Chain A
Amino acid sequence: MTDTQTDIYTTTVGLEIHVELATASKMFCGCRVAFGGDPNTRTCPVCLGMPGSLPVPNEKAIEFTMKIGLALGCTIAEHSLFHRKNYFYPDMPKNYQISQYDSPLCYGGAVEVVGDWGTHPVGITRVHLEEDTGKSIHIGGGGRIADSDYSLEDFNRAGTPLVEIVSEPDIRSADEARAFVTELRATIEALGVSDVRMEEGSMRVDANVSVRRKGEKEYGAKVEVKNMNSIRSVIRALEHEEERQRKALDAGEILIQETRHFDEKSGVTSSMRTKEYAFDYRYFPEPDMVPFEPSAGWVDSIKDSLPESPTTRRERFAREYGLGVKDVGVLTSSLKAAQWFEAAAGAYEGDAKKVVNWIIADLFGLLNEAGLELWESKISPVQLAALVTLIDSGKISGKQAKLVLQGMFESGDDPEKVIAEKGLEQVSDEGAIEAVVDDVIAENAEAAGKVRSGNLGTIGFLVGQVMKKSKGKANPQMVNELLRRKLS
């Protein structure tokens, strides 16, 4: 994206996020909820859509949905309804999906997202509850629906409680979308109501993207982008789509409202349908289910049970640990990362900022290379705290600590063990250092003379010689002091 383009165009993104709830049983029947498994082993007459079966809503799923809604600042509807959304697709055996239409459980919230651009509120239009579909495998034609010979259906997932979260079109860039999804994932993870694993499909993101010239009042054509399976692909897909639409507008093309599929490999979106369809789902109230009207007492008790929200946690981290916006953002991007950091900070007696620096400046580098998350590291929070304490006590230098960290990262051993094994211990014994310092002064008489005559710039050279001679083990601060004392 060039600056000129940012000046000319405005991007508008709204997100639709689906989250599978981690209840024990399905939304409308007692079949177990789990990922994968032998096909068609977790089904019953209700989730297979057999005539005469009676779906009954799962109380926990409703409670989980209200939790999500309240955590996102929504109002809980005093009266809400399930509707039938009618369409034909073989992954949905009833030929309708039980969903919510004009009376969702939760509506009208907002999420605050944080990034380099500051903080920005994103409205939440609604949070509603529905059922997930089964899983299709398309046989022949390279697995693409349009070219396949036939399809195979597994209904294990059919009927899993699925929450849909719809944002207002308040998102203005791929990076804000990333921040929003990260925030949402952290919030829901903290509630303990879903695994929110994008790779396994327990959290799915669809985006509506439109680009228009600055100053134009009407939104551009709304393009729906599907199949983004990680936060990284959300960024890639949106950046690509933004660029594609800008280029099209540059070339004077007219964009059409359509659905586009993001291809992970090529990083490109392509049109899913060429014809324009006016979907007619013929929603009507689900006759099998009576309205839902939660008591104020129930809603209040859920409100009271909510854990610390990421926003509150950010404020607390900034206050308690004196951290800047960026560090706080990194450490609160997920509950597990925040918990890992707090465990390390708790085990360390000095200024927590030092622990943060080691996590962000060094540990993250190693983690990124290995493709691991903070909490998946072999290093425990307590071990990291121990490492920083060893630096404080002068046992190892900061430079050596980087090597120790590397060793800990590979083996999961305590820092003391790595130091002993690698022979990295810092020498802080004045007598031992003094002997080396004397040798270096004798060997470099010219440089020593310069320092004596007031040219202090040369002292760095001598420090370097001492460090070299001590194989990096001498405490650099002590070397410096000794040289100054002897050459003054």
Chain B
Amino acid sequence: MSIDRRAVDHVARLARLDLSEDERAVMLSELQQILGHAEKIQALDLDDVEPMSHSVPMVNQVRPDEVKPSLTQADALANAPEVEDHRFKVPRIMEDEG
């Protein structure tokens, strides 16, 4: 699979990245390299290898259902650029391509 400029634009938009023309060129070549690397792996005969999602041999990491103290309202809102009625104030929500 190769990646073209349109795919770069699409991925950038999905990630809400505003890339300059130069950055897009850099991304294109870097993504091509990464995909090239993946292609090498895909070329191997891996029929007997189980797909792996995590590289650590560990399962079932859970915590007991216990309530721990939360942040105070003031601390929770401390980093908010804007606050109204003790809520995070955000700009108008635009319905856009997910």
Contact = CB atoms under 8 A, between A and B. Distances in A.
A294 B60 CA distance: 7
A30 B68 contact: yes
B9 to A, nearest CB: 13
A267 B95 CA distance: 24
A42 B63 contact: no
Interface string B2-21: 00000000000010100000
B92 A59 contact: no
A90 B91 CA distance: 9
Given A43-B70, A281-B98, A58 B88 contact: no
Given A41-B70, A151-B91, 10 more contacts: A39-B86, A40-B76, A44-B70, A56-B62, A56-B63, A61-B65, A138-B93, A285-B53, A290-B56, A293-B60
A136 B86 CA distance: 13
A41 B87 contact: no
B68 A152 contact: no
Chain A interface residue count: which class? Answer: 35 or more
A41 B59 CA distance: 33
13 contacts: A56-B61, A56-B62, A56-B63, A57-B62, A59-B65, A86-B14, A138-B93, A151-B92, A152-B87, A152-B88, A152-B89, A273-B95, A292-B59
Nearest to A153: B88
A411 to B, nearest CB: 42
Nearest to A279: B98
B66 interface: yes
A442 interface: no
A280 interface: yes
Q: 10 smallest A-B Cβ distances: which pairs?
A: A30-B68, A60-B65, A152-B87, A285-B53, A59-B62, A153-B88, A279-B98, A90-B90, A56-B63, A293-B59
A285 B53 CA distance: 6
Given A25-B67, A44-B70, A280-B98, A152 B84 contact: yes
A39 to B, nearest CB: 5
B65 A42 contact: no
Interface string B60-86: 111111111111110011000000111
Given A29-B68, A40-B76, A155 B88 contact: yes
A290 B52 CA distance: 11
A277 B13 CA distance: 14
A294 B91 CA distance: 43
A372 interface: no
A24 B60 CA distance: 20
A59 B64 contact: yes
A488 B92 CA distance: 90
Contact of B92 (A44, A148, A154): A148
B97 interface: yes
A38 interface: yes
A129 B67 CA distance: 20
A291 B54 contact: yes
B61 A277 contact: no
B78 to A, nearest CB: 11
B34 interface: no
B98 A277 contact: yes
Contact of B90 (A150, A285, A291): A150
A287 B66 CA distance: 23
Given A25-B67, A90-B90, A39 B61 contact: no
Nearest to A281: B98
A273 B94 CA distance: 12
A149 interface: yes
B17 to A, nearest CB: 12
A290 B59 CA distance: 5
Contact of A290 (B60, B64, B98): B60
Given A137-B87, A291-B53, A149 B92 contact: yes
B43 interface: no
A8 interface: no
Contacts of A281: 98
Nearest to B11: A282
Contacts of A39: 73, 85-87
